[in-house]
Structures are given as C-alpha cells and as structure tokens.
Structure 1
Amino acid sequence: MTVPKEILIETLTFLPLSDMGKILTISKTLYQQILETPRYFKSLLISYSKSVQVEPLNSVREENKRTELLGHRKDLFLRSFRCSSDPIGSGQLVLLIWFTHFQKKERMSTLSLNIIPKLLVGGVSALHVYILVLEMFLWNTPRGRKVFRLSDEEFARKTQTLAANQGLYNGFLAAGLAWSLMHPDTTFGKQLAFFFLSCVGVAGVFGAATASKRILYVQTVPAVLAFICTYWLW
C-alpha cells in the first residue's frame, strides 16, 4: 500500500525494530501540533514529505507491544508497517500509535469520558427492554395499567395484542442499541448508536404528539442526551 502525503493519524512516532518502546525522533513542529490539538486526535492532519511504500506488519511482538501500551482497548489506534524505504533513517518500523507519553492520569481521564456515552446508550437500551416487558407481558395487569394510565380494564384486555406488537418494536430498538455497544468496530458501533438513538427520539416525539406528552421526557430526552454525548465523547 502507499501512504498518502496527508493521512489521518493520532500520533506519529518512528521506532526501530530493536527497541519498540523508545521514541527515537519526533519533530518539534509535529510535537507542537499535537500539543495544540484537542482530544479528538483523528482530526489531526500530518503531511508526509514524500510517500512511503509500506506493508502491514502483524506479529506477536507487535500485539504484545500494543497490549503493553494500550491494554486491550481495540478502539485506540495502533498500526505498524515495515518500510521498503526508510523516511528518516532511524529504523525499519513505523508505528502510528496513540500518545504513549501521556501521563497515566490523563489517559484515565480520557477513558473515563469515553464511558459516559456508553452508559447513557446502555440506559436507553435498558429502558426499552423495560417497556417491552410492560407492553408484551404486563399490559393487562395492575402494574401495566398503572404505568400506562389505563383505567378501563376491558379496554386494556382488548388492546393487549396491539400493545404486544408495540413492545416487540421497542425490543428491536433495545437490541440495536445493545449491538452498538458490543460491536468490535467502535466507529461502526457509534454509527449504529446514532441511528437507533435517532429512531428512539423520533418515536418519542411522535408519541408525545399523538398519545402523551410524558413520552417526550421519558423517551426523547434520554435519547437526545445520549446522542449528544455519543457525538462528543464516544
């Protein structure tokens, strides 16, 4: 593969095969760019002086170093390449890695922020599992009638099948949100979260307009909050 002159990376370091843990060189200009860039390193554009012919280097040694530097977090960016032409004369291996020189406290702060949207998405998913149970199994029970404010027991009995269908659809939303949390590709997982949170938000607005305004606060507000946090912190 050919590395383009401008690539989207998080940090650029050059390491020799003999010592993968030591940063041999990083330009003052690049270092300044890194310091001035917010947490969202994927927006950092680095220009190569020339294209470099490289091939992916996947080895046990690389994976061990990845684990040592980043733990088992698959969403942090770490790729290594064996260069056919050495761009700086310092080694045969180029690693594109997340900041290894960050202080532990700063890394933990970033990881802590990352968990907030996932907790919110998980909460919205759990809420829809609860709604599924109420609509599919507890609709015509004292608890179900109380939650949905159904004073007429006969009406609840007649609409039980319709409610079960509604509950099933809520189950699909819950499953989609759970899928977004469990998907191994965090970028695709984030896109899944956006889609299903949008579905929840729209459903809540429609429900508030046609059934009860309370749905707006119970369903739409948590979805919007989770959507915003997912956009900024995931």
Structure 2
Amino acid sequence: MQHLTPVDKTTESTSCLIDDIKPHEKSSHNAKLNGSVATLLSALTSNFSNQRINNSKQLILHFINEVVKRSKSSQLVVIQATYLFHQIYTKALKPVSITDMPEFARCSKRVFLSCLILAHKFSNDSTFSMKTWCLISGLKPRDLANMERWTLSTLDYKLRIESSVLNKWYNTVLSESFVSNPLLSSVSSSCRKRARSEFETEPYILSPYKLHKWEHSATR
C-alpha cells in the first residue's frame, strides 16, 4: 500500500467547520462525526436492504471507521463525501425506480466509498492510486471503476461544493443537532425515528473483522 499524506485544499470559509475543534477533542469528534454519517446513510438506504445487502447503522459505522482510518481521510473529506451521498439519494435517484438501479447502488457502503474516493481526489493535491483504493477497500479495480463512473454520472459530474452550501448543510443535517432536529425532508418519518433511536444507543464496538465483512448479508 502506498503511504501518502494528502494535503487538503481547504478554504478559510470551509475549514471553519472543524477549525474550532481542539486537538485533544479531535478523536471524540471523529467518532461523533462517523456516527452521524452512519445514521444518515442508514436512514437513506435502509429500504434497499435485502438478503445480500445490509444497510444497518452498525455495519455502516464499522465500515466508515475502517475506510476513513485506512485512507487517512480528513473530516472535511468525510463531510464532502457524505454531502455527495445525500445529493444522490435525495435528489438524483428520486425519480429512478429501484429496478433500474445497479445492485451496488443499493449498498450504502459501496456508494459512500465511491463518494469518498471522489471527494478525496477533488480535495487533495496528492491522492491515492486505484491500486491503493483497491487495497483499502478490498474490491477489484473493475468494480471500483464501475462504481466511480456511475457515481460521477449520477452526480452529473458536479463535485464542486460552495463553502456556504456545505456549511449550511453540515449545520442543519450532519451536526450534533441531527438527532434532535433532523432535516431530512426526503426521508420518511419512520426512517427518521429509527435513525434517532439508533443514534442514541450504545456506540458500536469494533471487532477485528476484515473490511470485506461489510459484504455480508443482512441476516448476519
């Protein structure tokens, strides 16, 4: 695996999302951020779960913790990736029938991985090669390439996010107020209630499973 230390191309207005976090609080904030992301992803895709695809918050959280750690993705990249994911499932795919979606598009973990790769590439001066992303995710190059092309096409290649838009979205959707005031207009009330309930449970304890465990079925 290549050991790179990407440099974020952050702007002053965008970096205010995380600049006020003190160093000793960063680990705690990372855990809260990943928890919020997992809750959101599960709420948006829980209806797509089946015997082959598990979109439960616990499994998503385990995956996010691992892939973020392995890719050394910054908090800003994680937030950008989550914003892209949110755009896909609340806008881009709204008129699309589930039968017209590729199977991987029903898996929140695969689509989030695609969004993370795109956000990582867009935000960093030096990023990882496809080979390294394969090592990070455990997926084959062809699978990653197909997922990335589909994600780009679904987003209409619009990866630039205005800092004011990202800040507003972060504060209203992904911040700690998400639990008490979730502004997920396109998510059903039952999904929002379930998301709040899951977020308030005990933190998921990571087990020493390999990353490919997120491929396991919902019956696990």
TM range (shorter): under 0.3
Could you say which structure has the higher helix fraction? 2
- TM-score (norm: length of structure 2): 0.22
Q: TM-score, normalised by structure 1?
A: 0.21
Structure of greater Rg? 1
Would you tell me which structure has more strand in proportion to its own residues? Answer: 1
Whose relative contact order is higher, 1 or 2, with alpha carbons under 8 Å and at least 6 apart? 2
